[in-house]
Amino acid sequence: MGIVAQHVGKVIGAPPTRILSDITLDIREGEFVSLTGRSGAGKSTLLYLLSSLDKASEGTIEIEGQDVGRMSGEALSRFRNEKMGFVFQFHYLIAELNALENTLLPARKFKQQERRKAHAEKLLERFGLGDKLNRLPRQLSGGEMQRVAIARALVMEPRYVFADEPTGSLDTANGERVINILREANETSGTTVVLVTHEPEFANLAKRQIHLRDGRVV
Amino acid sequence: MDSPEKRKDAVIFLAVRYLFARPRQTLLTLLGIFFGSAAFVAISGFMLGFRGYLIDQLINNNAHVLIQAREEFLTEHSLDAPFYGSAYRHIFWAAPPSGRKDSDIVENPQSWYLRLKNDPRVAAYSPQLTASVIFAKGTAASASRLIGCDPLQQQKVTTIGEYVVEGKFADLAVGGNRLVIGEELKKKLGVELSQTVSVSLAHRAATPFKVAAVFRTGNRMTDSLAYGAISDVQNVNGTPNQVNEIAVRLHDHAQAAALATTWAGWGPEKVESWDQINANIFEIFRIQDAVRFLSVGAVLIVAAFGIYNVLNMTVMHKRQDIAILRSMGYNTGEMIWLFFSQGLILGVSGAILGLAFGYGVCLYLQTIPFGGGSLGSGPGHMLVSFQPGIYVQAALLALLSASIASILPARAAGKLTPIEIIRAGAE
C-alpha cells in the first residue's frame, strides 16, 4: 500500500509563497527513500506532508489507502503513534526524562510502557547505550541523544520512519552510525524509511532517491 | 480503545516531571495557593466560630419570636381619618402630626395565649413584664432591667436555666419576691446568694427581693439583668395582670421570620423574629463575609497570576517538547491537559497543604484564652469553627483560581501545531 501523493502542492504565509507544486509520487512499503535537493527545494515540507504533520494546500496524500486530509484528529493521532516514527535534525528529547523514559514516551500514550520496555532496552543496547539507560539528555553526547531519538522513533515498531536531516547536527562518525541504524531498521524489520538529507553519500545509501528542485520532483 | 482517563496518565507523568524539574519555581507558586487556602480556613474558622456561638446564643438563649407592646409612629396622615373620616380626599395640616402612639402593655394577651397554644409550630411561650428598676444593696446601686416571667415557661422558651451557676432558676416559682440575677449585677451590688436586694421604680417605695440564683452567660449585657416571678414584678410595677412581652419558642427557628410577619397582622402588637431583632448583627456578618472573601481572594489572585506566569513561561520553553509529543500521536486535548494538570496539581497540593495548615492554626487558636469581656465566650477560649463547608469553600477557591490561571497557557499549548514549532526551530 505505502504512501501515495497525487498533485500535491503547498503554499504558505502571507503574501502566499509556493513551496511545492504538483508532486505526484508513490513510496511502497519497505522502501528506503531519500528526498534530496538544495536548501529551500521543499524537501522537509514534502516530508511533513507525507507524514501527515502538515496539510497539503492542493492534492491528496494517502497512507495505506487512507486519505490523511480526511482522517479525524483522533484517528490521525493513533495512526502516527502506532505506525509512524519521526527523527528530526535536533533530537527533541525531553530534558526531564532519562534515555529509557524518552524512548518509551510514544508507548506511554496508550499505557504500553511496561509491554514495550524490554524492546526499548534492546534498542538502546543495540545502539550502544545499554549502560546509559538512566542518563538524562544533558548527560549524553549529541550522537547519543540522536540515537535515543531513533530508538524512540522505533520503539512502537512503526511501518514508517520519517527522518528530517537526522545527521545534520552530527559529526561524520555519528552521522554514519545514525544512517546505518535506519538502514538496519529498513532491512531487518521492513520499515519504510523516508530520509531527507542534503548529503549525497547518505542519499546514495537509499534504494531510491527523489530529487526536488524549486518545489518540484525532477 | 483506551479510555481518555488512561491516556491522561501519560501526560500527568510528564507534568509531574516538569514540576519537579524546577523545584524553586514550583515551591513558590505552591506557597501562594498554600497561604491563600490556609488564610481562608484560619480566618473563616475564627470568624464563623464566634459567629456560630453568637447565633447559637441568639437562637437558643432568646425567644424565637417576641411579641411586644404596640409601637406606632405618627405620620402626616395618621390623624386624617379620626378627625375628618372620608369627607376630604386631601387634608393639609398647618402643623403635621408627629410623634409616637405607643402602648406599654400587650393588649388582650389572652387572645395571643389562645392562638399560640393552638399553633402546632409553637413549642412554648412565656409572658413577660420587663421593668426598668434600680437594684440596691447598702450603698451599692445599679440601674437595670427586671424581667418578670413564668419560671417554668421561661426555661422552655430560653436556655437561661442552663446558665445558672448558683441556686436554681425554678426557685422563682416559689414566689415571695425572689430574684435570679446575672453575675455582672451580682458583682456590682456585691450581693451573695440568699441575701436581700432592694428593687425600686421611680416614685415608688423599694421592695426587698431575695437572691435565689445567679446566672452567667458570658455576655455582659445579659449578665446585668435580673429575673423575677411575673406576679412579683407586676406588683412592683403596679401593673397587675399586665404583660409587655410574650416570648415564643418554635419547633423550627428557621420559620421565625415568616411566622413573625404573619402574626404581625393579627393585632397592633409589634412582632419580630430573633433574626429581625438582630438584623444589624446579620448586616455585620455580611460585611465580614465580604471582607473575608475579598482579602483571601486577593491572595489567591496573586497566586493565580504566579501560576499563569510560570505556565506561560513553561509553554514557551517546552515548544519543542510539544512538537515531538504531537508527532508521536499525542493530541490537542493531551497537550492542554499536560499544562492544565500542572496548574491543577499546584492547586490541589497547595490547597491540601493549606487546609491542613489552616486546620492546625485553628486547633491552636482554640487554645488561646479569650473571654470575659462583652465579646467573651462561655468556654473561656477562642471559639473556632471547623465546619466542613469552610474547607470545601477554601479548596474550591484554590482550585478555581489555579484552574482559571492554567487554562489560558494550556489552551495556547493546545493550539500549537508540530509543524509551526519545527519550522520556527529551523529558522
Q: Is residue A134 part of a domain?
A: no
Q: Is residue A9 part of a domain?
A: yes
Residue-level pLDDT at B144: 93
- Tens digits of residue pLDDT in A139-149: 999 999 999 99
Residue of A nearest to B4 (CA): A110
Reported confidence tier of residue B237, pLDDT bands at 50, 70, 90:
confident
CATH number at residue A12: 3.40.50.300
The span from the CA of B205 to the CA of B134, in Å, is: 11
The beta-carbon neighbor of A92 closest among B10, B320, B332 is B320
Q: Is residue A137 part of a domain?
A: no
Reported confidence tier of residue B189, pLDDT bands at 50, 70, 90:
very high
The beta-carbon neighbor of A108 closest among B10, B21, B323 is B10
Q: What residue ranges of chain A have pLDDT lower than 70?
A: none
Is the four-CA dihedral A175, A181, A183, A185 of positive or negative sign?
Answer: negative
Residue-level pLDDT at A40: 86
Query: Cβ(B413)–Cβ(B343) under 8 Å?
Result: no
Average pLDDT over residues B5-32: 86
Task: Mark yes or no for CB contact A109/B330 under 8 Å.
Answer: yes
Between residues 3 and 42 of chain B, which touch chain A (CB distance below 8 Å)? 6-7, 9-10, 13-14, 17-18, 20-21
The pLDDT of residue B347 is above 60: yes
Average pLDDT over residues B416-421: 83
Average pLDDT over residues B330-347: 92
Reported confidence tier of residue B1, pLDDT bands at 50, 70, 90:
very low
Is the four-CA dihedral B366, B367, B368, B370 of positive or negative sign?
Answer: positive
Residue-level pLDDT at B375: 44
The pLDDT of residue B373 is above 50: no
Reported confidence tier of residue B376, pLDDT bands at 50, 70, 90:
very low
Residue-level pLDDT at B374: 44
Q: What's the total number of domains in chain A?
A: 1
Query: Cβ(B54)–Cβ(B387) under 8 Å?
Result: no
Between the ranges A165-169, B120-124, B275-279, where is the mean pLDDT highest?
A: B120-124
Question: Residues of A with CB below 8 A from B20's CB?
Answer: 96
- Closest Cα in chain A, distance from residue B303 (Å): 25
Average pLDDT over residues B379-391: 86
Residue-level pLDDT at B70: 78
Domain that holds residue A156: 3-94+146-217
According to DSSP, the β-strands at A216-217 and A3-12 are unpaired
Own/partner pairs for B259-265, CB < 8 Å, 24+ apart?
A: B259/B65, B259/B121, B260/B65, B263/B65, B263/B67
The span from the CA of B103 to the CA of B215, in Å, is: 31
Question: Residues of A with CB below 8 A from B314's CB?
Answer: none
Q: Is residue A119 part of a domain?
A: no
Average pLDDT over residues B126-135: 92
Q: Is B202 on the interface with A (CB under 8 A)?
A: no
- Closest Cα in chain B, distance from residue A108 (Å): 6
The beta-carbon neighbor of B330 closest among A51, A77, A97 is A77
Reported confidence tier of residue B425, pLDDT bands at 50, 70, 90:
low
Residue-level pLDDT at A131: 94
Q: What is the DSSP string of chain A?
A: --EEEEEEEEEETTTTEEEEEEEEEEE-TT-EEEEEESTTSSHHHHHHHHTTSS--SEEEEEETTEEGGGS-HHHHHHHHHHHEEEE-SS----TTS-HHHHHTHHHHHTT-HHHHHHHHHHHHHHTT-TT-TT--GGGS-HHHHHHHHHHHHHTT--SEEEEESTTTTS-HHHHHHHHHHHHHHHHHH--EEEEE-S-HHHHTTSSEEEEEETTEE-
The pLDDT of residue B204 is above 60: yes
Average pLDDT over residues B319-329: 90
Reported confidence tier of residue B378, pLDDT bands at 50, 70, 90:
low
Residue-level pLDDT at B6: 55
The span from the CA of A54 to the CA of A61, in Å, is: 11
Residue-level pLDDT at B50: 84
Task: Mark yes or no for CB contact B327/A86 under 8 Å.
Answer: yes
Residue-level pLDDT at B102: 66
Task: Mark yes or no for CB contact A108/B18 under 8 Å.
Answer: no
Contacts with B90 (C-beta within 8 Å, 6 or more apart), sequence order: none
The pLDDT of residue B201 is above 90: no
